[in-house]
Amino acid sequence: MSDTFPPGFLWGTATAAYQIEGAARENGRTPSIWDTFSHTPGKVEKGDTGDIAVDHFHRRAEDVRMMADLGVNAYRFSVSWPRVQPTGRGPAIQRGLDFYRGLVDDLLAHGIEPVLTLYHWDLPQELEAAGGWPERETAYRFAEYARAVAEALGDRVTRWTTLNEPWCSAFLGYGSGVHAPGRTDPVAALRAAHHLNLGHGLAAQALRSVLPAGGQVSVSLNPAAVRARTQSPGDLDARRRIDALANRVFTGPMLTGAYPEDLLADTARLTDWAFVRAGDAAVSRQPLDSLGINYYQPAVVSAAPGQDAAGRDPGRQDRQDGHGASEHSPWPGAESVAFHQPPGELTEMGWSVDPSGLYDLLLRYTREAPGLPLMVTENGAAYPDKPDADGAVHDPDRIRYLHGHLSAVQRAIADGADVRGYFLWSLMDNFEWAYGYGKRFGAVHVDYETQRRTPKSSARWYARLAGTGVLPEVPIG
């Protein structure tokens, strides 16, 4: 196996608007569901909010220069929906779009390709008040928003992503309630999943109608590498159930134009799926130029003791699924499946370090979607990074993590996966959703009091990789 990545490979970093921008009330921006959620007592650790975040809105030029210094050739960012379309309806406001015009121009001037994500969880609060993603109308509003952004930036941005991790939007936002908007209704979660699928398809159609020739459309999913704890029939069925809810609920409509029959059967006691209208799944299946894969850890599952033949067990389980504590499950129809902590090293999030899951996913979607290029659009780890006495930030654990996962990408490429790029999560430390500022994923350390940026050792290591295409060794010590 070669230690050199293919020519033309994209070496990027990634961020999300609410996690980094700040300027929550400037230039006409209105609240998103994450503004409302983070300002609700008890929802985010220490009451942290993204009001200021890492002030990227005002430090955009500095941050782009920092990326250029790191040698990356691509930057995956998201547009804040309420910054450019404050009510979630009607025409975009130009002063909101101007920020992204300036960002794209800065990136291009430094030789960095912009990779734009339309939705990274910041639904305008006004749309949530009207019902949010469980309502069909939201999918149409999303397509309208997609068209407006494409009309403004399509002449300079080639790579477009509709949704980031719709599983989190649907099942953490409307099922377990640990993400915004914090609702806990399993049927609403399934409805949201469907309307995210529909919104993806409608937005992809809107993009294709506006973008010039050569425009590329993608979606970034966070598929689960689901493993049964044993080969018992119960554990294998638990794996099937979670695979349906974590993966096939999205890849079914998006890649094949149909929901899996076993998913419909598993959830029949909750809903008859009458919210799916004729033709919806076909709309969700739009031609893609690549499929984004976000990966952090595998899932190990088993049948919970005492569940019945239909998988019912209303008793709360300690899921250990890595998605935050809640009395409510993000797994409608599979609430009683037990999740298990794999043995071995953990990140500060309590997530297992297991690159084999990334390899398995890349090979899985190579088989299931032959001919569709893949991108690793998020991969990274949180560690308790602190500056030393000289102000330097050394993070050898992150370097080992990246080396292991990039080796898995190389192995997947050698075994036939058409992987076109890798985006490190994240460019810099930022607001980590319900964990606030307590978890640091960045290759660049941010002092939240002063907003000083300090590249960590992993940033310099990644810069060598981006510059040469050759996987550097892990430093000793």
Q: Summarize pLDDT for 311-334 with one digit per residue, the tens.
A: 444 333 445 678 888 999 999 999
Q: What is the pLDDT of residue 313?
A: 43
- Burial class, 328, CB count within 10 angstroms (exposed 0-12 / middle 13-18 / buried 19+): middle
Q: What is the pLDDT of residue 321?
A: 74
Q: From the candidates 135, 165, 335, 432, give the one annotated as an active-site residue.
A: 165
Q: What is the pLDDT of residue 304?
A: 84
Across the range 217-239, mean pLDDT stands at 98
> For the segment 373-424, what is each residue's pLDDT rounded down to a tens digit?
999 999 999 999 999 999 999 999 999 999 999 999 999 999 999 999 999 9
User: Known catalytic residue: 473?
Assistant: no
Across the range 297-320, mean pLDDT stands at 62
* Structure tokens, 202: 């409608």
Ramachandran sector of residue 273 (left: φ over 0; alpha: ψ -120 to 50; beta: rest): left
pLDDT surpasses 60 at 310? no
Q: What is the pLDDT of residue 317?
A: 41
Which one-letter amino acid corresponds to residue 321? D
Q: What is the pLDDT of residue 305?
A: 73
Distances in Å between the Cα of 168 and the Cα atoms of 75, 119, 186, 223, 449 are: 22, 12, 13, 11, 30
User: Known catalytic residue: 378?
Assistant: yes
> For the segment 61-79, what is each residue's pLDDT rounded down to a tens digit?
999 999 999 999 999 999 9
pTM of the model: 0.96
Q: What is the pLDDT of residue 426?
A: 98
Q: What is the pLDDT of residue 306?
A: 52
DSSP codes, 38-106: HTSTTSSGGG--SSSTT-HHHHHHHHHHHHHHHT-SEEEEE--HHHHSTTSSSSPPHHHHHHHHHHHHH
Q: How confident is the model at residue 143 (pLDDT cuts 50, 70, 90)?
A: very high
Q: Do 160 and 116 form a contact (C-beta atoms < 8 A)?
A: yes
Q: What is the pLDDT of residue 60?
A: 98
What average pLDDT is seen over the chain?
A: 95
pLDDT surpasses 70 at 267? yes
The rounded distance, in Å, linking the Cα atoms of 8 and 216 is: 16
- For the packed helices 136-153 and 186-210, what is the interaxial angle rounded to 10 degrees? 30
Q: What is the maximal distance between C-alpha atoms in the chain?
A: 63
The rounded distance, in Å, linking the Cα atoms of 296 and 381 is: 7
> For the segment 423-457, what is each residue's pLDDT rounded down to a tens digit?
999 999 999 999 999 999 999 999 999 999 999 99
